[in-house]
Amino acid sequence: MSSKSLTLFDKVWDSHVVRKIEGGPDVFFIDRHFIHEVTSPVAFLGLESRGLKVIFPEKTFATADHNTPTRNQHLPVADPLSANQLKALETNSSRYGISHWGLGNPKNGIVHVVGPENGITLPGMTIVCGDSHTSTHGAFGAIAFGIGTSEVEMVLSSQCIMQSKPKKMRIKVDGKLGKGVTPKDVILYIISRLTASGATGYFVEYAGEVFEQMSMEGRMTVCNMSIEMGARGGMIAPDETTFNYIRGREKAPKGDAWEKALAYWKTLKTDDGAGFDKEYHYPASDIEPMITFGTNPGMGIGITHKIPVADGTGGNKASFGKSLEYMGFHEAENMLGKKVDYVFIGSCTNGRIEDFRAFASIVKGRKKADHVIAWVVPGSHLVEQQIKEEGILDILNEAGFELRQPGCSACLAMNDDKIPAGKYAVSTSNRNFEGRQGPGARTMLASPLAAAAAAVTGVVTDPRELMS
């Protein structure tokens, strides 16, 4: 047995390498494979054309989420593309013996929400999905990342993919977060410091007091957005918070199997003296509620700050100018007070119960601004149920909000929930690219607290001003 100090990433990666190819990628075993209706149909066609089977159907889990309506899910899906994709997922899952949670199934929801809440996601696993935000599952001390359609086919047929081992980065945040600062603000701050490409080629481990004190749902938010700074994925070492979250969930180990798994999970942490290719350290006190002003997630600032001047950003001046032009913003302007047309709370980034609790804490006793259209979309039916059981729905209804049904919704403009051209949206999702939320849509990324503050005031507002 090697006495070499290893990182958490090394421990999980090395234990899943089936074969090393000299000068090439590793043949890498996958423990869990999530599929949805958008990136899987072509992969299944590939299997069919080559006469291949799904080698381990019990390791693949299918759910409908991307191209789905968030209203009237009990009715036939009107959009023909969406209807065809959903039918293909159902048919393919049935044909190959894959677990399938389609529309109407009480376990249906966004893939990166339902995986953890059902105990499918566990520490030390390798997890892939044809979706870039698979990095969410890294919050459990798993190696999780998005793959392309050809790789989806590869996993279905062999349970392995070819992967070169990424470099390792550690990001530490120590101290105590201030009032109104959420996990979403932490990751937006980190991305603003590193830029949207600053972690390209790396797998990130988040460490330090802030992440140790963070809930599992908060950790999922952080890991979810790892790829928005170019990282292959992000992960956090499992601890008692992790184990308490997993314990008792439907597909989590039980009895002796639990004790055995727990003993292994407790070994999943970076050894003293283990090396990283790059490290960053930030004080928690530097982070305030964040908002983006541009067209990538790295263009974020503290909500009380002014939009930077291009000369001071160190980036491409022409690109910076183009981004501001798209947004209709100008250098040195305040973000506070900017008009908001739409508010979206949901997505695999912020569609969990804690996010809706935060949103409701601001909304309670207030009314939605008349001109604001708000889409409140839970990440799963379980979250929807919790919203109702905890009285959050009553708060939302009294304030003039409507609760929709689970789905990816306005995160990616693949369904009916699109922001119209030229309109401004404060969104709790993960990307603010040009057209991400609809052709010509202008997106400002923020936390559930900041989204709630915008929804009730009608303008970009510091949520701390509305907190008791």
Give 7-288's CATH code, choosing from 3.20.20.190, 3.55.50.30, 3.30.499.10, 3.40.50.300: 3.30.499.10
Contact between residue 241 and residue 144 where contact means Cβ atoms under 8 Å apart: no
Which contacts qualify for 164-168: CB closer than 8 Å, 24 or more apart? 164/24, 164/25, 164/26, 165/13, 165/26, 166/201, 166/202, 166/203, 166/232, 167/201, 167/202, 167/203, 167/277, 167/278, 168/7, 168/9, 168/10, 168/202, 168/203, 168/205, 168/275, 168/276, 168/277, 168/278
Helices (H), 138-249: 149-158, 183-194, 209-212, 216-224, 240-246
Q: How many CA atoms lie within 13 A of 452 on its CB side?
A: 26
- 222 three-class SS: helix
Q: What's the longest Cα–Cα distance across the chain? A: 66
Give 290-466's CATH code, choosing from 3.20.20.70, 3.40.50.300, 3.30.499.10, 3.20.19.10: 3.30.499.10
Q: What is d(CA 90, CA 84) in angstroms, rounded to the nearest whole number? A: 10
| Residue 395 pLDDT | 98
| Residue 3 pLDDT | 65
Q: What is d(CA 17, CA 165) in angstroms, rounded to the nearest whole number? A: 10
| Residue 468 pLDDT | 81
Residues of the chain short of pLDDT 70, as ranges, are: 1-3, 312-315
- 205 three-class SS: strand
- 170 three-class SS: strand
Tell the residue number behind the tokens 């379980």, with chain if given.
382
| Residue 67 pLDDT | 93
Position 157, amino acid: S
Selection from 410, 399, 354 nearest residue 377 by Cα: 410
Q: What is d(CA 122, CA 142) in angstroms, rounded to the nearest whole number? A: 7
| Domains of the chain, residue spans | 7-288, 290-466
Q: What is d(CA 454, CA 150) in angstroms, rounded to the nearest whole number? A: 41
